[in-house]
Amino acid sequence: MKKWFLLFFAAFMLTACSETTMDETPAETEKENSALEEDRPTAAEAEKEKVALQENEEAAPSESEKEAAAENEHFIPAKVVRVIDGDTVKVLVEGKEETLRLLLVDTPETVHPNKPVQPFGPEASSFAKSTLSGKEVELELDVGERDKYGRLLVYLHVDGKMFNKLLIENGLARVGYVYAPNTKHVDELYELQKAARKKEIGIWSIENYATEDEGFNGGEEKAEAPKAEAPKAEAPKGEPAGACTIKGNISSSGDKIYHMPEGQYYDVTKEEEMFCTEEEAVGAGYRASKR
């Protein structure tokens, strides 16, 4: 009997607790839900947080930007005091005047003591003067700092751009004087040269004028003494002496091209062979110059 009483009492207590819990649950649940609603951001607030997160991500510098910033810390500030020609400049740096030679670029000559003014040399000098004169610039060095003449060897930055690249992009210089270990930017410059050559702008607009390895044709050093002239082809019978004036030239890509005296590039073309008639040039495998 006692056992049954205990069982009945336990069941009664469980029922009472269950009812109490059920009575209290809705109120507590409502209270908890209300607290959650207060903590939950509204749609507008959520959108605002999303926009702020995106702005922060966009503002964060990329790895390439971080690398560029790290490089910029090593640039040397200077001021241009004189432009000598397209690839040589005088600057004032740390209170001292220095002559700069731009790395990995070669512009046609305008002031060389033993060479004539070359095509597009004046244009390169004019471009340098209009871009650099009086400007605050930054000097980027490579491994070797100076050449045998004591000039600083630099990549010159102006208005956030590398001037060496600007010369190549505009067809005013070729990639030249490539000597290790000063080759940090050589691949970039070769890519820009390829594009300028494809567009046939500047120095690349003159057939066989600019070469990748031998500089510029038509700008040979002035001779100190008269040189013996190369033998000219004999004139065909019936032609007057001295009539062999057609220049035959073989380009760096192997094209055989002949130039007439009235042609646009006749004077700057270096002859491989001389012909007296166009028929003779064609028979030797040459084609006429397009200009």
Which run of H or E residues covers position 199? helix 186-199
Q: How far apart are CA 92 and CA 54, in angstroms?
A: 44
* Residue 241 pLDDT greater than 70, yes or no: no
Give pLDDT, residue 12. Answer: 62
In tens, the pLDDT along 76-132 reads: 999 999 999 999 999 999 999 999 999 999 999 998 888 899 999 999 999 999 999
The type of residue at 230 is A
Give pLDDT, residue 243. Answer: 61
- 109 has catalytic annotation: yes
Q: Maximum distance among all alpha carbons in the chain?
A: 153
Give pLDDT, residue 178. Answer: 95
Give the tokens for residue 151. 């000039």
Residue with token string 């990748």? 212
DSSP for 119-164? TTHHHHHHHHHHHHTT-EEEEEEEEEEE-TT-PEEEEEEETTEEHH
Helix (H, G, I), strand (E, B) or coil at 166: helix
Asked if 210 contacts 216 with a C-beta cutoff of 8 angstroms, the reply is yes
**What's the whole-number average pLDDT of the chain?**
80
Length in residues, the chain: 291
Which member of 28, 30, 32, 109 is catalytic? 109
Which member of 28, 45, 94, 101 is catalytic? 101
| Percent of the chain residues past pLDDT 70, beyond the cut | 69
Q: Give per-residue burial for 226-265: e unless 16+ CB within 10 Å, then b.
A: eeeeeebeeeeeeeeeebbebbbbeeeeeebbbbeeebeb
pLDDT greater at residue 265 or residue 163 = 163
Give pLDDT, residue 227. Answer: 41
Give pLDDT, residue 231. Answer: 46
In this prediction, residues 266-277 reach a mean pLDDT of: 81
Asked if 165 contacts 190 with a C-beta cutoff of 8 angstroms, the reply is no
In this prediction, residues 55-75 reach a mean pLDDT of: 61
In this prediction, residues 143-149 reach a mean pLDDT of: 94
In tens, the pLDDT along 15-59 reads: 655 554 445 455 555 655 555 555 566 777 777 777 777 776 666
DSSP, res 210: B
CB neighbour class for 14 (10 Å; exposed up to 12, middle 13-18, buried from 19)? exposed
Asked if 140 contacts 154 with a C-beta cutoff of 8 angstroms, the reply is yes
Q: Give per-residue burial for 78-103: e unless 16+ CB within 10 Å, then b.
A: bebeebbbbbbbebebeeeebbbbbb
Give pLDDT, residue 216. Answer: 93
Whether the full predicted model's pTM is greater than 0.85, yes or no, is no
Which member of 40, 97, 140, 151 is catalytic? 151
Asked if 89 contacts 135 with a C-beta cutoff of 8 angstroms, the reply is no
Q: How far apart are CA 248 and CA 45, in angstroms?
A: 78
